[in-house]
Amino acid sequence: MTMDWCNELPRFLDGEMPSEEQVLFREHLAGCEPCALEFRDTLQLELLGQTTVEEGPLRASPEARAQQAPRRRWWKDWRVWLSGSGALAVGLVALLLLPWPRQGDAEEVTWLVPEEGRHLEARLTYGVVDRNHRRYVPDRSESDGAPRVTALPLHALSRLEARKDFHGIATAYLLHGAPWQARAFLQRMPPSADRSCDLAVIALERARDVEPAKADGTQLKQTYLDEALELLEAVLREAPAHPQALWNRALVLREMGLTLLAAEAFEAVAKQGEPGWSEEAWGQARTLRDATQARGREWTETYAATRDLMTDLGARLPLAEARVHPGIVRLAFYDAVRAAPTREDVLRLAPLAEALDREYAGKVLSDYVRRVAARDFTRREPAARRYVQVAREEVPVDAALLEALRRSGEEDIYFGALVFASVARRTVDMEALARLAEAQGDPWLQLVAEREWAASEAREGRWWNAEQRLKSALDTCQGTALVFSCLRLERELTELYLEQHRPAEALPHAWSGWNRAKAAREWRSEQGFLLQLADIARYQHAFASARAYLEESLARMPEDCVQRTHIHRNLAAVEWEGFRPDSARRALDRAMACEQPLGLTGAFVLSDLARSRSEPRDGDHLRRALAELRLAGVSPGREALLLFIEGQFELARSRSAGSVLLWSAIDLAERRPDDVDARKARAYAYGALIAEAARAGNWSDALALQGRELRMELVPERCMLAVSVHHERTVVLARGPGGKLQGQHGDSRTEPLRGADGLVPPHLVAELRGCEHVDVLALPPVHGLTGLLPVDLAWSYRVGRRAAPRAAPAQTPARHLVVTGVTGPASLRLPPLEVLQPPRVPDPWRTELRGSQATPSSVLAAMADASEVEVHAHGMFSSAVSDASLVVLSPDLDGRYALTADRVRKARLSRAPVVLLATCSAARTAPYLHEPFSLPVAFIEAGASVVLASTTDIPDTAGEFFEEVRELIRGKARPSVALRDARARWLKEHPGNSRWLAHVLLFE
């Protein structure tokens, strides 16, 4: 819910608004076009009232505004007059007093860029500004680091306004530190490459203003960078040599840490030979490339210095390297001690142990050398030689070898062999591994044991145990010098979240690890986090960012064939999901060129390409990929996924053979409902079968399959709409009042689904016009989209349950739970919501959770036996917290304030309540293709019968609207009819503030 920011303008002008609200005010005002116009007019009126520009509300200090407040009281007195005919009179006076624009004035705005240099590093597309290069001078005028906001000449702005030069006005605002105002004017321009380029600059500047250390700062920064990169890539697809887009893309890539890609983009600018810009671009490219390559060479040389330490007893000790890269040197040091065949060989390593101990501020490694040197080497030497064979992968780490090493009594060697066995996915006694690490008294080894134990639990399907173990280990890691071990734990936890398809939780760990790896100069770890960031971006459909992460990784290690295969198969997935099948084919062919395993991602893409871009040897490649994936053993859920991949591939060749495999995948998946791989396999297999049935014109089969996927016992025989989109294929089925089934199938979609408008063809909408209510059966990514049917139809999304709700207690009085007056965390800086007014109709069932009592845990507990649930609070979307929207409540004792879909779906609502979510964007769904994931769906899965929520921001007055819908439902109106009728009345009575009503959806 939002404040009425336009009405707050007088309080802002009078200096009565607290400083923390002023920031929010400026942002919201600039994002609201009518408000922005009113604000601009107010500035012009200040000019007429002899108020100087420097005294304007955007420029003056809080102290100056307080002194000027009495002079601005005229606004309150004149506001009524201005709202009527007086506004026209003042406008005419303003036009008479301000200079009338002359032809060619667009070229007379050199005041936008000062002679001493430009303060905006980005390039703007307004010709007169970009044509004359000025050196970049970072603005350090403010002690707090905030950009300087300078005065704008209103006469000049008025000239631009008079000729509707919105581009010039937006440029002026951008160059003078007001990006939100600039955005409002850019959005009034027709779409063009130049407009998209300047909008990308705004997104970049917003990303730079975010403080990553604050709550959700990492994701917010990444979101803005994703937006900027998407805009710029769209420009460059149409105009590859667009100089401003190339330059700004380089800045975005540099901000993301993708320095080699940024250097390439700067070099592309430099080659265009523009005076000034070319020289600056060459300098930027050299700096970025030299620094990055130097870091890579340094790591590679250190690694080379440690590579022979275990096998060459005369190898140079990497003492200097230990100071810069203690992590990889320490890793090699352990292997060297374990492999040393004599006491003298162990003692030779003592200087290296001392050098490492100095870096880690202890004496653990020196003590280790002395302890091993005192061992009986007639017994130790055979174990040491066997360890060398294990480390060089010359012998398998089987049970017999491990038992022999255990019986040798050389516990450090046995520990190292157990780690190798665990990495090779062998069965290992993890309790023994942990005991050995504890006995050695070495924190490094203890973290290794925890990491391997967590990996073992994840492989066995106990991912929740693995998650807690890794998080606990990371907590002990903070503040220690064991950065190398901490980075490996962070990567393991990130990978676990990715395996569970939880990108929101993976992102902060991947981003933190990526930055820590760069600071520690751990080149190989940087590579690992780059690839994980690419996976996260792909899961969140930020395809431009995913592609950039992968291409940066490739640029850093182009000679590594294994790495190239991994990158190209993931690039193929990005290109396929971004609807670029030819690019996906080329990337996959490059992946196969190295003759390396394609992996799960590559097999997926190969299966998808079978429909339109198949090659003769694809069957051989797929069989090899599936055999290699199965070689080490897979879980039932993963096996179901492999059966789907194989079945989809065969479906393009033989409908009968492919169908058999797809049904096998479904049968196996349905036995593992809590396995994310199984859920994906089930959804994807049904999707392929539905699309195939529709392609053949078998509408009834397609509808029956969709009903089965949604776990519906009976599909409605009348007044029903079923919609599914499977990449390029779209299936729409409808039954009107007469029950006749009609359908439409298409396979020509060329871009990701961005909305539901126009998805249902007009003749099928007309078929549903006679229905009192329409049940909508939709699969992701359609489920939860607005605009699927017109607002004058009564309809709702039908949601299947994964488990039956508990039966309602007999003879229990109704209970209406209302959550209101929430005090969210101060760190979010959310504006206070208006207090919910008492109901207009007496409500004996009503109970409230208000203020600090309205915490997530107390709300979840109170909902358990409520028959109606009404939540009035702020809603927000933060993919650092949840992949779907969340509700902001008062913090619990542990600081958790978010009511997320994950937490709700674990609840049990025993009385099948009607749930009204009067919060902003509560119905926003995650971009999953295998299952609908949103707050409304979570409430239905928890046992709710009806959920009402919006996919966009709603005003404070929305509480009255939700109350009206509730009263109609209490009066026995069908929920969809209640929503339709209440919406129709509100659209009629509130025509100027009702755009949000079309975004209110019903789920049943």
Q: What DSSP letter does each residue of 606-633 carry, written as one string?
A: HHHHTTTS--TTHHHHHHHHHHHHHHT-
The per-residue pLDDT for 67 is 38
**Interval 551-573 mean pLDDT:** 91
pLDDT confidence tier of residue 41, bands split at 50, 70 and 90:
very low
Highest mean pLDDT among 166-180, 387-401, 862-876, 979-993: 387-401
Q: What is the mean pLDDT of residues 360-370?
A: 93
The dihedrals phi and psi of 559, each to the nearest 5 degrees, come to -85, -10
User: Which string of b and e fits 972-999 if b means at least 16 CB within 10 Å?
Assistant: ebbbbebbbebbeebeeeeeeeeebbbb
Confidence at residue 594, expressed as pLDDT on a 0 to 100 scale:
84
- Give this prediction's pTM: 0.80
What confidence score (pLDDT) does residue 275 get?
A: 92
Average pLDDT over residues 28-41: 44
Phi-psi region for residue 409, left (φ > 0), alpha (ψ -120 to 50) or beta? left
pLDDT of the residue at 754: 82
Sheet holding 946-950, edge to edge: 741-746, 729-735, 720-726, 774-778, 795-797, 1000-1003, 946-950, 914-918, 868-872, 816-820, 846-850
Q: Please, which pLDDT band fits residue 809 given cuts at 50, 70 and 90?
A: very low
Phi-psi region of 841 (alpha: psi -120 to 50; beta: other; left: phi over 0): beta
* Closest among 620, 614, 575 to 598, alpha carbons compared: 620
Q: Which 8-state DSSP code applies to residue 16?
A: -
Tens of pLDDT, residues 403-428: 999 999 999 999 999 999 999 888 88
Structure tokens at 951: 């996919």
Banded pLDDT at 459 (limits 50, 70, 90): confident
Residue 107 has pLDDT above 60, yes or no: no
Beta bridge partners of 869: 817, 915
| Mean pLDDT score, 379-384 | 94
Instruction: Please state which of the ranges 153-162, 200-209, 392-401 shows the lowest mean pLDDT.
Output: 153-162
End-to-end alpha carbon distance in the chain: 23
Question: Would you state the pLDDT for residue 799?
Answer: 87
Predicted confidence band at 161 (pLDDT cuts at 50, 70, 90)?
Answer: confident
- 584 versus 960: the higher-pLDDT residue is 584
Structure confidence at residue 718 (pLDDT): 94
Would you say residue 963 has pLDDT above 70? yes
Q: What is the pLDDT of residues 779-807, one digit of tens each?
A: 889 988 889 999 999 999 998 754 444 44
Contact 236, 255 (CB under 8 A): no
Q: What is the DSSP letter of 795?
A: E
| pLDDT at residue 103, rounded to an integer | 29
pLDDT given for residue 706 in this prediction: 94
560 pLDDT band, cuts 50/70/90, is confident
pLDDT value for 118: 82
Query: Distance of CA 990 to CAs 634, 801, 840, 995, Å?
Result: 58, 37, 19, 10
Dist. CA 594–CA 582, nearest whole Å = 20
**Of the candidate ranges 609-623, 874-888, 945-959, the one whose mean pLDDT is the lowest:** 874-888
Lowest mean pLDDT segment, chosen from 180-184, 332-336, 433-437: 180-184
The count of other CB atoms within 10 Å of the CB of residue 809 is 9
19-31 helix and 33-48 helix, angle to the nearest 10 degrees: 110
Beta strand ranges found along 780-883 (DSSP E)? 795-797, 816-820, 846-850, 868-872, 874-876
Q: With CA atoms as reference, report the closest residue to 257 among 530, 540, 567.
A: 530
CB 909, CB 945: distance < 8 Å: no
Which range among 226-230, 833-837, 971-975, 981-985 shows the weakest confidence by mean pLDDT? 833-837
The stretch 82-93 carries a mean pLDDT of 38
Asked if pLDDT for residue 1 goes beyond 50, the answer is no
Residue 911 scores a pLDDT above 70 = yes
For residue 151, the tally of other CB atoms under 10 A from its CB is: 14
| Coil/strand/helix, residue 745 | strand
| pLDDT single digits (tens) 823-873 | 877 766 677 776 666 666 777 888 888 888 889 999 999 999 999 998 888
The pLDDT mean for the chain works out to 83
- What integer pLDDT is reported at residue 58 of this predicted model? 33
Q: Which long-range contacts (CB under 8 A, 24 or more apart) does 424-429 make?
A: 424/397, 425/459, 425/632, 425/633, 426/397, 426/398, 428/402, 428/452, 428/456
User: In angstroms, rounded to a whole number, what is the distance separating the alpha carbons of residues 524 and 538?
Assistant: 22
Kindly tell me if the per-residue pLDDT of 251 is higher than 50: yes
